[in-house]
Chain A
């Protein structure tokens, strides 16, 4: 299988950083705060591939760096070091490292090839703008200038994500959390992205709504054959959605493999604790 995205040596340090930051943090030290300079090593030397049509999970406790990885890959944050390659024949840009693109090129790439759904809908949606408008914004970014076509595309996506069409002109601030998440998913899908990042999409939702959102993601994956990265601390979500999983702790990948294997036969002591405490 061909990887669609390759990340190598992904490192993000918050703070001024020093030469000993990476060597003095990590699971073996039980911290990701550098004792020499006080910087936080949010993730260090994270390397993995995402394959076409695959759903890859990242699991770990709060502060383990899983959301950081997604935000670096979505160009929300600048990474300290690391290499990102995106392999797709339709991609006009041909770079050895996509982290070296200009802010303008990164934005173009993000608009054309990526979608993201954040845990907090306030990060992904404009709460004062209608839900149809939220979807239209992504289309406008992709140079759509026909109102009827934009409204048509927005309605299609809202129907797919089970938002009643009569609420298309309402701002998402009047919606329930589950509906806001579904509008976010619709917005993320609007430009037919190559890669979809889901950052704790079901956290904070009640169990029945959670199940609907997860079903929706599975259906959309089957329909569009998207490559998806799912970040969650909920092993149930990871088990339901993903085929392969990375386990992170203190900014490092401590275990990587098939999801069933990791959940049934965890090798790393941290994964064993995680699995035994949650399942």
Chain B
């Protein structure tokens, strides 16, 4: 650990403030709690919200996993992991089960997590109503009065125009029957994992200075009409080219030279584990 920095980079006052705000966010599931969002050695918009949550919660006994769009080896994930490692000396892992803290962008790991783990999501746009309302004052009023008709109308219009709800990522969800929440740009595939999950989900938006949470065993329902239900992405007969999985969220890779489409597991840690198990190696 670099002795020139306080443990976990942030000063104790900032960490305490963030932890207090986390407690408030946990107490009011889905409600966006404003926080100070101090400057970080990373530009805003590059995961500073998630990093601040991780740094305020991490301790020497923790094991950290950082993923970006499901990948442990992407530039963003590796850099964040290196930075947090440098200021805390915690163990890092690519195995979801072994991690106590998982920081992620755009994905929730495929493997079910437990109540001993915390998943921290980096959030670019915390306001689910921004799609339909540009004014912050008005969105706060709408949340305060649970006036979500315009978002429902947005879904209605989508169905009228496209015969389908066209929202791919950031599918709005109703948390605990009260607040509509932006689950960050996770694919629809991951939305059902939020409902009655054992794990604590924390959402940090550094640029927008907002923290919100889904505590364990909370009701999280995607917005859907009685006769037009929410659906996750379908991959039909597609399989992961590496591990052969059929039940994971797949990334599509198009070859520039041949135009051929191939599919790989988006969650690389899970893909590695499945592959190792197939080859009879310990993961």
Contact = CB atoms under 8 A, between A and B. Distances in A.
B145 interface: yes
A136 B155 CA distance: 11
A130 B160 contact: yes
Size category of the binding interface on chain A: 10 to 19
Given A107-B145, A107-B147, A147-B227, A130 B159 contact: no
A176 B108 CA distance: 50
Contacts of A193: none
Interface in B204-238: 225-228
A132 B156 CA distance: 10
B133 to A, nearest CB: 12
Of B160, B161, B228, chain A has the most CB atoms within 10 Å of the CB of: B160
A147 B228 contact: yes
B150 A147 contact: no
Interface string A91-135: 000000000000110010000000000000000001001101100
Interface in B143-182: 144-147, 149-150, 152-153, 156-157, 159-161
A107 B149 CA distance: 12
Given A104-B145, A137-B150, A140-B152, A148 B227 contact: yes
Chain B contact residues, majority secondary structure: helix
A130 B159 CA distance: 12
A130 B156 CA distance: 10
Contacts of B144: 104
A176 B145 CA distance: 35
Given A129-B157, A133-B157, A140-B153, A146 B145 contact: no
A261 interface: no
Contacts of A126: 153
Contacts of A62: none
A129 B155 CA distance: 11
A104 B145 CA distance: 6
A95 to B, nearest CB: 18
A129 B227 contact: no
B150 to A, nearest CB: 7
Contacts of A130: 157, 160
B147 A147 contact: no
B225 A146 contact: yes
B156 A136 contact: yes
Given A103-B145, A107-B147, A169-B160, A133 B153 contact: yes
Nearest to A142: B149
A141 interface: yes
Interface string B113-149: 0000000000000000000000000000100111101
A184 to B, nearest CB: 16
Interface in A57-82: none
Nearest to A102: B145
Nearest to A169: B160
B160 A132 contact: yes
A150 interface: yes
B145 A140 contact: no
Contact of B225 (A103, A141, A145): A145
A96 B258 CA distance: 76
A107 B147 CA distance: 9
28 contacts: A103-B141, A103-B145, A104-B144, A104-B145, A107-B145, A107-B147, A126-B153, A129-B153, A129-B157, A130-B160, A133-B153, A133-B157, A133-B160, A136-B153, A136-B156, A137-B149, A137-B153, A140-B152, A140-B153, A140-B156, A145-B152, A146-B226, A146-B227, A147-B159, A147-B227, A148-B227, A150-B156, A169-B161
